[in-house]
Amino acid sequence: MTEVNKKYRLTSMEEPTDEMLQELMEGVAKAARESSAKAEAEKMRRLQAVANEAEAWKKSAKL
């Protein structure tokens, strides 16, 4: 947890500074990029597994 997260909560009664908002948004953006990259990697892994299964089926069926 960053220092900004420790100082400010979205439920806080005080307004965040521009710097706090910037740091919070950078953290959210970083988390979103990491999540997206993980999801893309998992999608590619699953697609490759299906492609491998299809290839194995084609070879066993001699198509």
Mean pLDDT value across the chain: 88
pLDDT band of residue 2 (cuts 50, 70, 90) is low
Residue listed under structure tokens 């492609």: 51
Mean pLDDT of 22-48: 97
Predicted confidence (pLDDT) at residue 1 exceeds the cutoff of 70: no
Per-residue pLDDT of 6-17, as tens digits, reads 666 667 678 888
In order of 6, 13, 28, 31, 33, the CA distances from 21 in angstroms are 13, 15, 10, 15, 18
